A and B are shown apart, each in its own frame.
Chain A
């Protein structure tokens, strides 16, 4: 099993540019989560999906952030326009509702906005 796959692993962009982060969950998992990790705030849940449907997006910081899950094997997190304060590591995680709900994390995308 390849685990959760995220791309790119590193992204450097300039303020105002659009950034798209990608995630492929573990096959068969029906929950997908997007997190952001910073030194100051630790790990924060941004949004999660169940069967491709967004369930809770209360953690999305503002309208510049959007997430989609067009099918069971792919999700995107988009930031438009990006700002320096968006610099962080963004993790995608997936889980299966039939298990003990363990979330398996991807390797993360380190985003730097200049």
Chain B
């Protein structure tokens, strides 16, 4: 059964600090993995997408890594801002499928 586990469940950091969110998945065959950001009261928005052959991808202060062999991904946020407070959801996709498998997310709170 395809599963996604994210850690930590929640995280509180001070503004300006860095943090790293983790994702382990068992999706197979694997196509790609996205990290979504979901602000309170809004729908998820894609931050990055990584395919099997990609190890690292950056989007501004967000850097995602992928190890397809160990089925692990991480999202690193640099110099956090108050607007980074949100849930971050890891979403691997099975090859040839339009169905997404959502992790339970990490709730990040950035305090001033």
Contact partner of B43 (CB less than 8 A), chosen from A44, A100, A105, is A105
B42 touches A108 (CB 8 A): yes
Contact partner of B98 (CB less than 8 A), chosen from A43, A101, A106, A108, is A101
Known A-B contacts A101-B93, A105-B43; A42 and B99 likewise in contact (beta carbons under 8 Å): no
Residues of B with C-beta under 8 A to A91 = 43-44
Give the A interface residue count (CB, 8 A).
22
Interface of B is mostly: loop
Q: A92 to nearest B CB, angstroms?
A: 9
A residues 56-99 near B (Cβ < 8 Å) are: 56, 91, 93, 95
Q: How far is the CA of A74 from the CA of B34 in the complex (A)?
A: 27
Q: Which of A31, A102, A106 has the most CB of B within 10 A?
A: A102
Q: B101 to nearest A CB, angstroms?
A: 9
Interface residues, chain A, CB within 8 Å of chain B?
Answer: 4, 31, 33, 42-45, 48, 50, 55-56, 91, 93, 95, 100-103, 105-108
